[in-house]
Amino acid sequence: MSYTSEHRRLAPVLAHARKLDIATNPEFDAIFEALPAGFNIWCTPEDHPQGWDGISLIAGAFAKPCGFVGTATWKWEGEQVVGISLGTDAYDLADQRPKIFARKLGGDWISIHNRPEDIEWAVGKVRWLFELAGAPCPPIAVE
């Protein structure tokens, strides 16, 4: 394996992410933004993690209203991709529900970083994108 062969192996996944680019594709399933070695995942008013009901999303520079959920990047060991690093940050939740996501409940901070609901939803989207590309999905690690 080499960096080149690994990028080539994962090229179909990024090609599908580009087809389903939220910036240019208004279709329901278009929720991705391809990166050089991974992709961002966005949600929409119709397709979002649990807990996002009632959150106002705008299109901004994108093809439809959306909110950033997280990023999936290739996890490298040497010159081989051995997994997917996934991290989520629900900025729209923090912006629109600051009393919930900026206070302590029972001594614990409620964080927008790697909320279980966002991770669960994003993992499903990562696996689905790999399936569309006809590529086996490497193990997913929450970072």
Q: What is the pLDDT of residues 115-125, one digit of tens each?
A: 999 999 999 99
* Domain that residue 47 falls in: 3-142
Question: Model confidence over 45-70: pLDDT tens digits?
Answer: 999 999 999 999 999 999 999 999 99
Enter the pTM of the model: 0.92
Run means of pLDDT, 10 residues per run, the chain, 143 residues: 76 97 97 96 98 96 97 93 95 88 60 93 98 97 95
Structure tokens at 140: 């997913």
Closest CA to 134 of 18, 42, 22, 9: 9
- Residue 31: its pLDDT value, please? 98
- Residue 11: its pLDDT value, please? 93
Domain count, the chain: 1
